[in-house]
Chain A
Amino acid sequence: MTTLTQANAARWLKIVALCVILVALPFVIDATLGRTWVRIIDIALLFVMLALGLNIVVGFAGLLDLGYIAFFAVGAYCYALLGSSQFGIHWPFLVVLPLCALVAAVFGVILGAPTLKLRGDYLAIVTLGFGEIIRIFFNNLSRPVNITNGPQGISLIDPLQIAGFSLSKTYTIGGLTFAPVHLYYFVFLACVLLTIFISLRLENSRIGRAWVAIREDELAASAMGINTRNVKLLAFAMGATFGGVAGGLFASFQGFISPESFTLLDSIMVLAMVVLGAILLTALPEALRYLGPLQQQWLGRVVVDPSGLRMLMFGLALVLIMLLRPAGLWPSRTRQRELTVDKADG
């Protein structure tokens, strides 16, 4: 009995400690590394959300989506059009963000429906095509009627604000400075935690098990009475929802969006994040950036372009991970179990 309560207490203590660390993190980083790194962490959190969303489609349901960034774009444009001077509409974010999620989900279903019958690699190519189509449309919907402002992008997008309290202002409470990057950190963190929570619940739910069944053997799944069409569409819609919310948050955080932020390469980056881990993939390149000036200092010129080097490492990592640890760097427990079972079979 005592051990049980002790274990319980330990668990709670751990959770409390984690909370304290998460809350203190932006301030500690601000004081040590500078505000830039808080900003980098903010963007990393958004990408964590994106990766979690894509994980539902790719990881749970096994549908390789190479155009996932399209939903991010849809969310971002939805927010930007309804909360900027583009049309002079300034709806509150409490209305717009759910709308972003909804519109992205609808797009998920629209784009998912024609691809339902397609198998792995065909699906990948078609989704890739959809991703590009969406970007090309956003880039060109400035004529004949100007909707998206084309490649010029939309600027002066409203920040998250409620009743005069705006996340784009700096507040000082009890000697502690809350700059926009700190405030957004907490919003993004809350969203990420919510996404994690939903993901975990989904994974263990009836739907989650249906997704796994489809991933492993679609024929068998449908024989067991799973409506594969609806379940697949649901995966697309759920994944798109998270992408849409992340997009809306991105638009409000940056205050400016243009189609060039939503290219095929970004889709592949998010995919790489699902495989490799989002935090690693946003923080590492930032660290790599220092290689540029260092080379300049030591060698007199930039010999190896850091952004090129970063992409090389991505490519290499994708290949190596697939060859050596096909379930990813940090596989979920079910995945691990499946893999060991597979080995026993083979």
Chain B
Amino acid sequence: MSRRLLIQSAIALVTSLALAACGDKAPPPAAKKADAPKAPEVQVVKIGVASPLTGAQAHIGIDIRNGVQLAIEDANKAGVNIDGKAVKLEMVAEDDEANPTKATTVAQKLVDAKVAAVVGHFNSGASIPASKIYADAGIPQISPSSTNPDYTLKGYKTTFRVVAHDGQQGPTLARFALDKLKAKTIAVIDDSTAYGQGLADNFEATIKAGGGKIVAREHTTDKDTDFKAILTKIKGRNPDLIMFGGIDPQAGPMKKQMAELGIKAQFIGGDGMQTPNFIKLAGESAEGALASIPGLPKETMPGGKEFLAKYKAKFNAEVELFAPMGYDAVMVFIEAMKRAGSAEPAKFLPEVGKTNYNGVIGPIAFDEKGDLKNGPITIYVVKGGKWEALETVSPGAAPAAGAKAEAPKDAATK
């Protein structure tokens, strides 16, 4: 009897050991530095980066990781001294697949790897659940790209972002529509995602507060390709401007179908549709479409030209979108560590909040929530089959909160 039991427990032990061994072998690939740590006195500080490296948004996730990698290599080349000691930075890159559940697992993985700070995640839907895990571990997190206002409203001291959020971008777009485009009647469409709806809601609230008239509020999904029904309805209301909160796979065909239906209104959207793919999908009808992007135009960023050249030389690819933000996020961390004289998250975390840094994307400073103060926003227009920068605006005080409170009243009177 006991022999069988013995065998069984032995098997259990062996399998668990084998499992453990497998796992032990697996994790290291993230840290892929070839040169072994030769000088033992050099302290290694790990910076985590989490973004989708596979899947539909991989190109943007890889862009962020590349930005972080570039920053770390630059810093190491220049030499980092913290509290008089030389420090070597190391990147730990993880793939969150743009999935909320995976994001928390990845966050835990980074915490396990004892990173000092995290750049990420790309999607708001991933940044928000992950922020809890970083906050519990006391590790500062800078998202290069999550624009959902909720992300910094959790009361965590560890969450920051280096991008204007929807509460800044939406109202900026709206003021542009009212002041510059002189739009009186406006139709709003969103794609029922956190990003699209957040942007559209903020836009709508500011338009209403600014005296504009919302003639239709329609919704589609991020998988749909047929917008004829809602566009026809909108055509019946005859707006001056149609605003779409969503991304290019929908925005492109939507613009095309507007042309097919003979809708003359102007078309404006957020950063999700300011891509070359939008122009490809919309074809000739793309001309004149407007879109905003948080940040300065890449070419006119203070360190922009140099950064673009460096990026191109290193990765043989064009910057997609958020690589400069990823780059600056790392620099913000390094500056904070230098000021605090420590790479301990607990010690340098307060310094991150006091950042006053001139980065590739412009001056970076955080407000008390961890949002970028006065992040500039640039409006682009499609001209001759290319996106061209039209003008750059500073959002100023975001009226979103006040405007939002008024929204229900408006809806009731409508």
- Whether both chains belong to one complex is answered with yes
Contact of A155 with B101 at beta-carbon distance under 8 Å, contacts A9-B1, A181-B108 already known: no
Establish whether residues B1 and A39, one from each chain, have CB atoms under 8 Å apart when the complex forms. Answer: no
Task: Of the listed stretches A121-129, A189-197, A294-302, name the one at the interface; the rest are far from the partner chain.
Answer: A294-302
Q: How far is the CA of A10 from the CA of B23 in the complex (A)?
A: 32
Residues of chain B within 8 A of A17, CB atoms compared: 5, 8-9, 12
Q: How far is the CA of A256 from the CA of B2 in the complex (A)?
A: 48
Establish whether residues B128 and A256, one from each chain, have CB atoms under 8 Å apart when the complex forms. Answer: yes
A317 CB → nearest B CB, Å: 20
A130 at the interface (CB under 8 A from B): no
Contact mask for chain A residues 31-55; partner B; CB cutoff 8 A; 1 contact, 0 none: 0111111011001000000000000
Contact of A35 with B29 at beta-carbon distance under 8 Å, contacts A155-B128, A307-B97 already known: no
B88 at the interface (CB under 8 A from A): no
Q: How far is the CA of A181 from the CA of B24 in the complex (A)?
A: 20
Establish whether residues B148 and A152, one from each chain, have CB atoms under 8 Å apart when the complex forms. Answer: yes
B212 at the interface (CB under 8 A from A): no
- Contact residue among A28, A140, A256, A297 (Cβ-Cβ distance under 8 Å from B100): A256
Establish whether residues B20 and A32, one from each chain, have CB atoms under 8 Å apart when the complex forms. Answer: yes
Residues of chain B within 8 A of A261, CB atoms compared: 100-101
Closest chain B residue to A14, Cβ basis: B5
- Contact residue among B109, B132, B136, B192 (Cβ-Cβ distance under 8 Å from A36): B109
Residues of chain A within 8 A of B198, CB atoms compared: 152
Closest chain A residue to B195, Cβ basis: A151
Establish whether residues A151 and B112, one from each chain, have CB atoms under 8 Å apart when the complex forms. Answer: no
- Contact residue among A37, A140, A156, A305 (Cβ-Cβ distance under 8 Å from B23): A37
Residues of chain B within 8 A of A36, CB atoms compared: 105, 108-109, 112
Establish whether residues A305 and B100, one from each chain, have CB atoms under 8 Å apart when the complex forms. Answer: no
Q: How far is the CA of A13 from the CA of B97 in the complex (A)?
A: 43
Establish whether residues A43 and B129, one from each chain, have CB atoms under 8 Å apart when the complex forms. Answer: no
B32 at the interface (CB under 8 A from A): yes
Contact mask for chain B residues 398-414; partner A; CB cutoff 8 A; 1 contact, 0 none: 00000000000001000
A291 CB → nearest B CB, Å: 10
Contact mask for chain B residues 14-33; partner A; CB cutoff 8 A; 1 contact, 0 none: 00100110111011011010
B104 at the interface (CB under 8 A from A): yes
Establish whether residues A297 and B32, one from each chain, have CB atoms under 8 Å apart when the complex forms. Answer: yes
Establish whether residues A6 and B411, one from each chain, have CB atoms under 8 Å apart when the complex forms. Answer: no
Name A15-74 residues within 8 Å CB distance of B.
17, 21, 28-29, 32-37, 39-40, 43
- Contact residue among B29, B53, B101 (Cβ-Cβ distance under 8 Å from A254): B101
B55 at the interface (CB under 8 A from A): yes
Contact of A306 with B24 at beta-carbon distance under 8 Å, contacts A39-B108, A151-B197, A254-B129 already known: no
- Contact residue among B26, B136, B192 (Cβ-Cβ distance under 8 Å from A151): B192
Closest chain B residue to A35, Cβ basis: B112
A115 at the interface (CB under 8 A from B): no
Establish whether residues B150 and A152, one from each chain, have CB atoms under 8 Å apart when the complex forms. Answer: yes
A289 at the interface (CB under 8 A from B): yes
Residues of chain B within 8 A of A277, CB atoms compared: none
B219 at the interface (CB under 8 A from A): yes
B154 at the interface (CB under 8 A from A): yes
Contact mask for chain B residues 179-193; partner A; CB cutoff 8 A; 1 contact, 0 none: 000000000000011
Q: How far is the CA of A305 from the CA of B148 in the complex (A)?
A: 28
A293 at the interface (CB under 8 A from B): yes
B95 at the interface (CB under 8 A from A): yes
B4 at the interface (CB under 8 A from A): yes
Establish whether residues A297 and B29, one from each chain, have CB atoms under 8 Å apart when the complex forms. Answer: yes
Establish whether residues B108 and A292, one from each chain, have CB atoms under 8 Å apart when the complex forms. Answer: no
B326 CB → nearest A CB, Å: 17
B194 at the interface (CB under 8 A from A): yes
Q: How far is the CA of A331 from the CA of B142 in the complex (A)?
A: 48
Residues of chain A within 8 A of B22, CB atoms compared: 287
- Contact residue among A34, A142, A156 (Cβ-Cβ distance under 8 Å from B154): A156
B54 at the interface (CB under 8 A from A): yes
Residues of chain B within 8 A of A151, CB atoms compared: 192-194, 196-197
- Contact residue among A140, A144, A258 (Cβ-Cβ distance under 8 Å from B219): A140
Establish whether residues A6 and B1, one from each chain, have CB atoms under 8 Å apart when the complex forms. Answer: yes
Establish whether residues B109 and A260, one from each chain, have CB atoms under 8 Å apart when the complex forms. Answer: no
B28 CB → nearest A CB, Å: 9
Q: How far is the CA of A171 from the CA of B268 in the complex (A)?
A: 52
Establish whether residues B24 and A32, one from each chain, have CB atoms under 8 Å apart when the complex forms. Answer: yes
Establish whether residues A155 and B29, one from each chain, have CB atoms under 8 Å apart when the complex forms. Answer: no
- Contact residue among B1, B9, B29, B97 (Cβ-Cβ distance under 8 Å from A294): B29
Establish whether residues B54 and A307, one from each chain, have CB atoms under 8 Å apart when the complex forms. Answer: yes
Name A75-95 residues within 8 Å CB distance of B.
none
A180 at the interface (CB under 8 A from B): yes
Name B105-150 residues within 8 Å CB distance of A.
105, 108-109, 111-113, 125, 128-129, 132, 136, 148, 150
A153 at the interface (CB under 8 A from B): yes
Establish whether residues A260 and B219, one from each chain, have CB atoms under 8 Å apart when the complex forms. Answer: no
Establish whether residues A35 and B111, one from each chain, have CB atoms under 8 Å apart when the complex forms. Answer: yes
A328 at the interface (CB under 8 A from B): no
Establish whether residues B54 and A140, one from each chain, have CB atoms under 8 Å apart when the complex forms. Answer: no
Name A91-137 residues within 8 Å CB distance of B.
none
Centre residue among B54, B104, B411 by max chain A CB count within 10 A: B54
Name A177-214 residues within 8 Å CB distance of B.
180-181
Contact mask for chain A residues 272-310; partner B; CB cutoff 8 A; 1 contact, 0 none: 000000000000001101101110110000100111100
Residues of chain B within 8 A of A181, CB atoms compared: 108
Residues of chain B within 8 A of A319, CB atoms compared: none
Residues of chain B within 8 A of A312, CB atoms compared: none
B51 CB → nearest A CB, Å: 12
Closest chain A residue to B9, Cβ basis: A17
Residues of chain B within 8 A of A305, CB atoms compared: 54-55, 58
Closest chain B residue to A3, Cβ basis: B1
B290 CB → nearest A CB, Å: 24
What are 26 inter-chain pairs, A to B, with CB distance below 8 A?
A10-B4, A14-B5, A29-B20, A32-B23, A34-B113, A36-B109, A39-B105, A39-B108, A40-B105, A43-B105, A139-B192, A142-B197, A144-B411, A150-B194, A152-B150, A152-B198, A153-B125, A156-B154, A256-B100, A258-B194, A287-B22, A294-B29, A296-B32, A297-B29, A297-B32, A307-B55
7 shortest A-B CB distances, which residue pairs?
Answer: A32-B20, A293-B29, A33-B23, A256-B129, A36-B109, A34-B112, A151-B194
Given contacts A17-B5, A293-B29, A307-B55, 18 further A-B contacts (CB under 8 A): A17-B12, A21-B12, A28-B16, A28-B20, A29-B20, A33-B19, A39-B105, A140-B192, A150-B192, A152-B198, A153-B125, A180-B136, A254-B101, A292-B53, A293-B30, A294-B29, A296-B29, A308-B54
